[in-house]
Structure formats: C-alpha cells, structure tokens
Chain A
Amino acid sequence: MYNLPREVILTTADQQRTPASDPSTSGATASAEARSSVDTGESPSKNLERIARTLRRHIISMTATAGSGHPGGSLSAVEIITCLFFQVLRCRASDPEWVERDRFILSKGHAAPLLYAALAETGYLPVGELCTLREMNSRLQGHPDKTCTPGVEMTCGSLGQGLSFGIGVALAARLNSLDYRVYVLLGDGECDEGQVWEATMSAAHFRIDNLVAIIDHNKLQIDGWNREVMNLEPFPDKWHAFGWHVVEVNGHDILQLLAAFGEAKQMKGRPTAIIAHTIKGKGVSFMENNVDFHGKAPTPEEADRALKELA
C-alpha cells in the first residue's frame, strides 16, 4: 500500500471552497482553484485545462494510494469529464437528486477514479475523501455504486449497460415534461457488448434527442488494440447507420468537445454520438498507449514521476 502524503491528495479545493453560485447556471461550481484562474483572466479553455490537470493528479494519487484501479481509461476521458462537469451539465452539488438536473451516466464504470475526482472537485464529495478509494467502508467503491455515492446516477462496472439505462432516464424526461439532458460515457472496448447495439438501435427508434453518447475511443482494451481483439471499424459509420447524429472530435481538445456538446443540443429527433479520439493513459508519458496501465495502479515511484509530469 502506497500512502501519499495528505497534502498531495488534498488540493486547494477543500480549504477554499465557497458556497455554490447560482445553481441554475450551466456547469457545477468549480473549485476555488479553478475559479481563481478565471479571476486572473485565463481563457475558459485554459481554465478547463487546469482543471483537467488537477483531475489527472487525483487519478494518479487515488490509484497509487489504493494500490489498484484503472488509471489508463480514467486518464483518457479527463477532458470529456472536465467539459461535462465544469461547463456543460446543469446540476447542483448541494442537491444531487435535483429533479431537473442533467444526468451523467458512467457506463465504463472502471473510470470510477475520474468520476470521483470530478464529483469531489465540483463539491459532491470532500476532496479529502478521494484517498479512501477502494477501501472497506469507503463510499468510493472500486466501481461506482448508486446507493452510496452522491452524484452517481447508476451502479455500473459490468460493461454495456449504461446506454440502456440512459435511454430510460431520457424517456422519463419526455413523460415528465422536463428538459434535462442525459450524457452517457462509454468505452470503445465496451462496444463489443451486444447490448450497446440494442440500445443504439432503440434510442434512434424512440427518436430520443436529449441523449448524448460519448465514446472514449482510446483504441485499447485489456487484451490489446481494438483492431486486434475485436475490430470496431467502421466505427462512426456503425453509429450513423443505427440512426445517430455522429460527431468525431479530438477527445483531448476542450474547444472541439464543447463545440460537439453544443451541436448535440441542436439536434432534434435523434440522439448524438460523440466519438472522442483519445489516448489511453493521456498526460503521463509512460502510461500513454500502454495497455499495462488499463487495470494496474502506478507504483509509488511511478506515481511520483507521473505527478512531476502533471505538476
């Protein structure tokens, strides 16, 4: 077990968090660290890039402390989650069950460290709790558990199920005359599961337009490259053929991601798939495109090197 010094895990957020601003505005309340950069006149995308770096540091610290977990597929989706939690989602950390909130559903449940880091930096959880990842009695279970963690919309970890769940949540908005939107994050390897395509077909059939699937397309799964394990191509064509509006972006480019989310909001009568081309392990040189770090935590030495790179 690698115990990081407390100050490494606690960012400035815990000490400096101020009460939430107007909760009706888009995006949850960012941590003081994040907001201070706005005050200094940084561009919004620079601000989000700073937050992304903070989330990456959390992922490294959390998995290293736990001694297990999934850093690779957490790091690849950092910009996607950053854009959602700090810009796109209409939500209230102080009221996780707010009925009009936008819903974020993590279908690739192994990216739990990333989700928890975002929930902490937006005020759903104390940042100091992040170091309890995977511990007995922790609210931060190895894969997300809807029943114990504020802000977690769905119990997940068994792949292929989030999009179906998201369709039900999206249909409920229609039935309840609410205008919330539903965002589901899938892995690319996850798309091997047949249920994903059952869901894809039905979302288009039900003409759901308040649903966005984001696929973290890092091209790697446990046994190797997608194309070697189970070829997904032609991947965008498949989503298109199933009746979805498809947008391909560089999944590490904040501006491209924000533009894609904006485009999805304009779509009427069909759901949108954002295929985000990403790099597994992004941000840490020795983890990038290294499938060994799919489900392996960094050693203490590796964590130190990674945190230096992310300083």
Chain B
Amino acid sequence: MKELSSTREAYGKTLLALGRENPDIVVLDADLSKSTMTQFFAKGFPQRFFDCGIAEQNMVGIAAGLASSGKIAFASTFAVFATARCYDQLRMCVAQPHLNVKVVATHGGITVGEDGLSHQSIEDLALSCALPGFAVIVPADAVETTQVIRAAAATPGPFYVRLGRPKVPRVLSHDYRFVLGKAATLRQGFDATIVAIGIMVSRALEAAESLSQQGIDCRVLNMSTVKPLDVEAIVQAAADTGAVVTAEEHLEHGGLGARVAQVVARHQAVPMAFVALKDAFASSGTSEELLQRYGLTSAEIEKAVMSAVSRKKR
C-alpha cells in the first residue's frame, strides 16, 4: 500500500507558512474552514482571515477588493461552490481585471462521495478554464500541492487550484519540482501516452505498469497545469508514441481531455481516447464505489489505451 497524503492538509499548512513569510497574504473562506483547512491560517493570523459565511459571491468580491489593494488573496470553499456559485463574480471582479486572487477549491470531483451530486464538482475545470487569464491547476498529491500553492502565491494573476476530499497515494518524490505550465514525465514509454491529473495520476501509473506486462510501454504525463497547457509536451508525446489517452475526474466535455484533444488535432493528429465522466450527474456512494461505477479506474485507462493503440495507422 502506497503512502497516503492529504492535499487539503498540505494546502492548510502551506498557507500558514506563507502567512509567516508574507504579510500581504490574506485568506477568505465561506464557512468551510475546517474542511478546506484554512483553519490553520485563521488561528495563526486572525486579523488576515475573513470568514464570509455561506456567501461565496460576496467572498469573491471581497477577495478581489483586497487584491486590488495589494493583497494576495486566497479564497477557499468546495469546488462546486467556488466556481458555479460565483461565476459572474470570478468573471467580472477577478478575471477581467486580472487580479491576484487565488481560488483554492477543495472537494473537487465525485470523490466527495456520500454527499452526492449537489456537492460533487464535475464541471469546475471547464468553468475555470473558460475564464480568460486564469491559471488552472490540479495537483496530483500533497507534495505537489505544497509547491503549487507556493507558485500561486509567487505568480501574479488569478489562479484556480482544485484539491480533493480523500487522501491520495503519494506519486511524486520529495525532489519533484513543480513548474507552472510544464507537464512532468512520470514514466517514459513509446507505445502510447497517458495524460492524467489529480487522483487519476496514480491510476495512470498502475495502468502503465499493467500494460507494460502486456508489451505496451506507456508514457505517463502528470499534466497538473491544465491551463496554460504544456503544448510542447503533448505534441512531443503524440509524435513519439502515436496514441494519447487522457484521464480526469471531470466531465468529458470541457476538461483536460477536450483541451489536450485540441492540441493534438491542431499540431500532431493521432488516435485518442478519453477516461472521464460522461454527460450525467453522479450519485451518492463511497469514493471507491463511485470511481468504479463511473469508470475512473486503472482498468478503464488500460482499455482506453488499447483502443487508441488499435487505431494507430500501421
């Protein structure tokens, strides 16, 4: 069993450290600080923490006002509320004036689990990627989360960072270095490429391991920066391997797969397959039950790879 790590906890601890280092860091939450883990910062720096209550639109507006006055504003709530609930506020107050607001959303995807569809964010990447000027990042584990949060604080402009509820297997070593806009090659291979984000990265590595025993060597890319996309890495992978599969805990439309497909179609057309949620809401259940039910498994990634590889031109 691989070591498990909490991306939320990594976020909360990193915020606290950033708070000590930089007096311009401010944090806002919408009555979920115990879940988003902004509670650490709240206890450490109560003067710089603003609990806005259950009012996400107001929270985003206040964050924008603080950012326009020189602050680096982190605003957190669940992913479903951090995007859809306050989309126009993100559009008008944050994206258009390109303000220094870092929306760090937890409980992304269906692995929220038992709370069901109202709390499962399946379209947040499509929404955030459609905001001009936003950087959109989905860290794969706690090691990467810490570095992503630091990069967001250090880089001017709006960010959307999606974290999950459950602990995830650690997939990156401690000497891993996150670079904004760059994919990380976690496994080299020349028969097909699996481009994955978030919880699907560990599943992509499992699928690649299994496929290698069947004689198919997969390259695995951790595409944590969903926007701006690492076009170079995708084009290189398509050219080198001739087949590309994407894997994400998000709707098939408008997420990682759609964005990667656009790059592949434009620069290096090869067969593709997509492991993602289909056009429907999910139900209640445990995280693992839901991932099985909706096909977000290493077995599905394997099938997708076989499909894409079978369509390669001989």
Contact = CB atoms under 8 A, between A and B. Distances in A.
A and B bind: yes
Given A165-B64, A195-B57, A198-B55, A171 B50 contact: yes
B82 to A, nearest CB: 15
B68 interface: yes
Given A161-B88, A169-B65, A175-B47, 18 more contacts: A154-B68, A154-B97, A155-B92, A155-B96, A165-B61, A167-B62, A167-B65, A168-B62, A168-B64, A168-B68, A171-B50, A172-B69, A175-B26, A175-B48, A176-B69, A198-B53, A201-B55, A206-B50
Size range of the chain B interface in the assembly: 20 to 34
A172 B57 contact: no
Interface in A138-164: 145-147, 153-158, 160-161, 163-164
Contacts, number: 106
Contacts of B65: 154, 164-172
A239 to B, nearest CB: 16
B93 interface: yes
B63 interface: yes
B274 to A, nearest CB: 34
B310 interface: no
A201 B92 contact: no
5 contacts: A147-B98, A155-B96, A168-B67, A169-B66, A176-B69
A205 B55 CA distance: 13
Nearest to B88: A158
A164 B56 CA distance: 11
A10 interface: no
Contacts of B6: none
Given A168-B69, A171-B66, A147 B97 contact: yes
B70 interface: yes
A164 B97 contact: no
A246 interface: no
B154 to A, nearest CB: 20
A172 B71 contact: yes
B96 A147 contact: yes
Interface string B54-94: 01011111111111111101000000000000001101110
Contact of A158 (B58, B69, B92): B92
A172 B205 CA distance: 46
8 tightest A-B CB contacts, nearest first = A168-B65, A164-B61, A172-B69, A198-B58, A198-B55, A168-B62, A168-B66, A169-B65
Interface in B179-207: none
B132 to A, nearest CB: 12
Contacts of A172: 65-66, 69-71
A145 B52 CA distance: 26
A212 B71 CA distance: 22
A199 B61 contact: yes
Nearest to A109: B92
A161 B63 CA distance: 12
Interface of A: 145-147, 153-158, 160-161, 163-173, 175-176, 194-195, 198-199, 201-202, 205-206
Contacts of A166: 65
A170 B63 CA distance: 11
Interface of B is mostly: helix
Given A153-B68, A165-B68, A172-B66, A202 B92 contact: no
B71 A175 contact: yes
A171 B62 contact: yes
Given A153-B68, A156-B92, A169-B66, A201 B53 contact: yes
Contacts of B96: 145-147, 155
B250 to A, nearest CB: 27
Contacts of A199: 58, 61-62
B28 to A, nearest CB: 9
Contacts of B68: 146, 153-154, 165, 168-169
Nearest to A147: B97
Contacts of A205: 53
Contacts of B58: 164, 167, 195, 198-199, 202
A161 B92 contact: yes
Contacts of A157: 92
Contacts of B70: 172, 176
Nearest to A182: B65
Contacts of B26: 175
Nearest to A99: B70
A85 to B, nearest CB: 20
Given A175-B26, A195-B58, A206-B50, A168 B63 contact: yes
Given A167-B62, A202-B58, A155 B93 contact: yes
Contact of B93 (A147, A161, A175, A198): A161
A158 B87 CA distance: 12
B61 A168 contact: yes
Contacts of A194: 57
A154 B93 contact: yes
A164 to B, nearest CB: 3
B89 to A, nearest CB: 6
A202 B66 contact: no
Contacts of A175: 26, 47-48, 66, 71
Contacts of A201: 53, 55
Nearest to A193: B57
Contacts of B89: 161, 164, 195
A145 B95 CA distance: 12
A205 B53 CA distance: 10
B48 A167 contact: no
Contacts of A145: 96
A199 B58 CA distance: 6
